[in-house]
Amino acid sequence: MNKTYKPALRQFLIELVLAGFIFAWGLSSSLTETWYSDGLYPVISVALRSVSFLFPFALGDFLYLLLIGYMAWKLWFFIKALYRKRLEHQHRVMVPLQFLNFLLILYIAFKLLWGLNYSRPSVSSTLAIGHKKYNVKELVMLGNFLIGRINELQRQKDSLPADQKTAYTIAELRQGAKQSYDLMAQQQAFFDYSQPSVKPVLNSWVITKIGIEGYYSPLSGEANVNMRIPPTELPFITCHEIAHQIGVAREDEANLVGYLVSTSSPDPNFRYSGYYSILRNVLFEIRMKSPDDYKILYKTINPNVLLNYKKDREFWRKYNGEMVDYFGAAFDNFLKLNNQKKGLNSYQDIVLWVYNFHEKELK
């Protein structure tokens, strides 16, 4: 074996063993919860947020740009040398080996910084929310319940003076979400959220064209919110992304936490945002299973709520285009690789949990 390859090969074998150990660790949900989600991860996440909070911009976005630039530069160097036939034999082996080492480092970093949370037990079981299946009648009851809540909140909003109907700044969203999480943490330690770090995305136009409302950055521990989207959804999205910060990896479970936190807020606009975001999922489910009931329920929704939904559709129609389908398929595959076999369909699981959470109120 050429001695030039030995250090890189040794590094590759060490990283491969470590990656295999982390993968095996993630196969046990109980070990993951005990030693990672409730042990190592809270320390890591608070440390990351303590650092990223010091920067006025989305540090994670900047780090991603650096990574992409580094990979593009290395790839360009390799292709250029290969094209000019100036790449020595040892480099023909070394460069791909270094690239594999780089990918393994990214995998290990992702898993340790946040990704192992995909293997933790269901958040619904942690919060003692059942999985009882609903029938169409019960689904319609849930729709009626949510419509009643959001109609009342809409009437409150309509009665406010025009100068009080302002959009949120990122600081107000961060403060409002932190207050809601603190209230929930008084009842259950699961919701404990210290050292908040919530940032607007660096390039909201690109993010909106892709069709993303917000995302969590594992490299920096930041919750990133797309401030370009309609303000009605921003409080719920902020609570959803903070759920990722406290270790909720799965999208459907982050929706559940976001809903519970936002609808428990003392701020009526946060409560409105929570009901508004989840009502859309419930109405979609009703429309699929009982179109007649959907038509009846639709007529009971406050016109201004419907106007907000209309504005949302127009907003996304303006920005999305064909890019949404492409990136949606990519994200769907990412979710499936991380133990969410339903992919994007897992977002609809929120309806089951919201029904079980409100079951006693419905009856």
Mean pLDDT value across residues 89-94: 58
Tens-place pLDDT, residues 288-318: 999 999 999 999 999 999 999 999 888 888 8
Mean pLDDT value across residues 167-181: 95
Helix residue ranges per DSSP H, 54-168? 59-83, 89-113, 123-126, 136-158
Task: Give the separation between CA 291 and CA 139, rounded to whole angstroms.
Answer: 12
Mean pLDDT of the chain: 87
Higher pLDDT residue, 151 or 318?
Answer: 151
Task: Give the separation between CA 119 and CA 26, rounded to whole angstroms.
Answer: 5
Q: Is the pLDDT of residue 200 over 60?
A: yes
Q: Is the pLDDT of residue 88 over 60?
A: no
Mean pLDDT value across residues 107-124: 95
Q: Is the pLDDT of residue 191 over 70?
A: yes
Residue 99, pLDDT score: 81
Residue 70, pLDDT score: 84
Q: Is the pLDDT of residue 60 over 70?
A: yes
Q: Is the pLDDT of residue 343 over 50?
A: no
Question: What secondary structure does DSSP assign to 213-263, as a single string?
Answer: SEEEETTTTEEEE-TTS-GGGHHHHHHHHHHHHTT--SHHHHHHHHHHHHT
Mean pLDDT value across residues 65-73: 86
Tell me the percentage of the chain whose pLDDT exceeds 70.
85
Q: How confident is the model at residue 321 (pLDDT cuts 50, 70, 90)?
A: low
Q: How confident is the model at residue 77 (pLDDT cuts 50, 70, 90)?
A: confident
What's the count of helices (H) and strands (E) in the chain, helices before strands? 16, 3
Residue 340, pLDDT score: 46
Q: Is the pLDDT of residue 327 over 50?
A: no
Residue 344, pLDDT score: 39
Residue 318, pLDDT score: 86
